Amino acid sequence: METVERRPFYLYSKPQINRNFEAYREALEGLNSIIGYAIKANNNLKILEHLRMLGCGAVLVSGNELRLALKAGFDPKRCIFNGNGKLLEDLVLAAQEGVFINIDSEFDLDNIVSAARIAGKKVNVLLRINPDVDPQVHAYVATGNKNSKFGIRNEKLQWFLDAVKAHPNELKLVGAHCHLGSTITKVDIFRDAAVLMVNYIDQIRDQGFEIDYLNIGGGLGIDYYHAGAVLPTPRDLIDTVRELVLSRDLNLIIEPGRSLIANTCCLVNRVTGVKTNGTKNFIVVDGSMSELIRPSLYGAYQHIELVSPPPPDAEISTFDVVGPVCESADFLGKDRELPTPSRGAGLVVHDAGAYCMSMASTYNLKMRPPEYWVEEDGSVAKIRHGETFEDHIRYFEGL
Ligand code: LLP
């Protein structure tokens, strides 16, 4: 293995990615299905290629995610383009490639019709219905409530069905989609939504549409707390909707992001020093909200551990684990009981595979970290270079 750079880095486990995928594959046995990996969770090209090789389709929210999915070799016929603000040029690309497109609003339908005309292709569309089921999660990651910006409300269903009927050369309605939210830890919530969704599918079929796909979105939570809680598995999720799907002879699409990739990775940091102000103790590390924003943005808990053995006399105290960024919002964990580390000690933030690197910024010119993974044989390989100061300067060259 080449020497790991002295800066924060992401370290993934390829065998854990395999296990997570396998859990979904086994859970879906006996159903026609597409596991659409939500690329927004983690867009590392090597990881995408691997998930594609295992058998995933892809769930996209931008033209660039679609371009990356194509580069990673995903079959466009197993890709779904979502979003409440899809741009015409991106819709044209999706139409050309034969990707499933979710209709999110009246103007979105208009744009999809235009895209179909420009591409000269009829588009397979799903209606994203907002079922108004409370996912019981942080407000920022709840999407299926009635006041959310996503999807259409059932009161408007007939308008959309008529609009699809009015465009037989551009649109083929193939299914219905919902996505309730993210970090969901009760599968009853998925069941409640699926019951509503198959009723909509019945109504849509009654009008002569031959629709075959039920897309229940993503959103299954994971055990961020590492405190022994028993969380629902992919099997629990699929079992709760299996009979509904079979009873209507539907193809099931699921869109997992977090539950495929979050627990496969740690952000590895180094302790810069320890300090105390007032009644607060701080462990200051080289990683920060720039590399991992979930704690500051959602108050999210991610488990933190020291990886270097602490000095034998290390006192256990309650620390906030913070980075060097000039913001009091810059923390990776609050009130954590940890042995006092020595300078230079390794400190990992767990479950950093989803929505960490993909949401990383270069705030304070902390350049995005490199990524590595542990292969099946235990060797370590770099899967993305760390960004450098020179990369930043390049944007100004030739101006
Ligand atoms: N499908 C749709 C339509 C979505 O909006 C999302 C996530 C997914 C699938 C994948 O959901 P997952 O299985 O990963 O929960 N940044 C937040 C999460 C935002 C999720 C956005 N939508 C976080 O760090 O927790």
How confident is the model over 105-127, as pLDDT tens digits? Answer: 999 999 999 999 999 999 999 99
- Going by C-alpha positions, the residue among 128, 59, 129 that lies closest to residue 94 is 59
Buried b (16+ CB within 10 A) or exposed e, 154-170: beebeebbebbeebeeb
Answering whether pTM is above 0.95, one says: yes
> Rounded to an integer, what distance in angstroms lies between the CA atom of residue 201 and that of residue 189?
18
- Per annotation, catalytic residue among 56, 79, 265, 326: 326
Taking the centre of ligand 1 as the mean of its atom positions, its distance from the CA of residue 141, in whole angstroms, is: 7
Q: What percent of the chain has pLDDT over 90?
A: 93
Instruction: Kindly state the average pLDDT of the residues 296-322.
Output: 94
The helix/strand/coil state of 163 is: helix
**Where does ligand 1 bind, in terms of residues with CB under 6 Å?**
38, 41, 59, 82, 141, 143, 179, 182-183, 217-220, 255-259, 294, 298, 354-355
Task: Calculate the dihedral angle through the C-alpha atoms of 271, 225, 42, 232, rounding to the nearest 10 degrees.
Answer: 160
With b for 16 or more beta-carbon neighbours within 10 A and e for fewer, the 6-38 pattern comes to ebbbbbbbbebbeebbebbeebbeeeebbbbbb
Q: Rg (Cα) of the chain, in Å, rounded?
A: 23
- Does the pLDDT at position 2 exceed 80? no
pLDDT tens across 141-169, in order?
Answer: 988 888 889 999 889 999 999 999 999 99
143 CA: nearest ligand 1 atom: 5
For the segment 251-271, the average pLDDT, to the nearest whole number, is 98
- For residue 72, how far is its CA from the centre of ligand 1 (angstroms)? 21
Higher pLDDT, 75 or 144: 75
Q: Is the pLDDT of residue 3 over 80?
A: no
Nearest atom within ligand 1 for CA of residue 259: 13
**Catalytic (active site) residue 326:** yes
Nearest CA to ligand 1 atom 14: 257
Taking 70 as the threshold, does the pLDDT of residue 290 lie above it? yes
Ligand 1 atom nearest to 255, measured from its CA: 9
* Ligand 1 centroid – CA 129 distance (Å): 16
Ligand 1 pocket test, pick from 40, 80, 291 with the greatest ligand atom count within 8 Å of Cβ, gives 40
Residue 285 pLDDT > 50, yes or no? yes
From 51-55, 56-60, 76-80, 180-184, the region with the lowest mean pLDDT: 180-184
pLDDT (0 to 100) of residue 132: 86
Q: What are phi and psi of 136, to 5 degrees?
A: 55, 50
Q: Nearest to residue 129, comparing CAs of 96, 159, 99?
A: 159
Range 167-177 average pLDDT: 98
Q: Provide the pLDDT for residue 248.
A: 98
Q: Please give the average per-residue pLDDT across 22-42, as a whole number.
A: 98
Q: Are strands 79-81 and 371-374 parallel, antiparallel or unpaired?
A: unpaired
**pLDDT tens digits for range 198-225:** 999 999 999 999 999 999 999 999 999 9
CA of 256 to the centre of ligand 1 (A): 8
Q: Which atom of ligand 1 is nearest to the CA of 294?
A: 24
| Overall average pLDDT of the 239-248 stretch | 98
Q: What tokens were used for 209?
A: 């549409």
Query: 116 Cβ partners below 8 Å, 6+ apart?
Result: 95, 122, 123, 167, 169, 170, 171
Whole-number percent of the chain with pLDDT over 70: 99
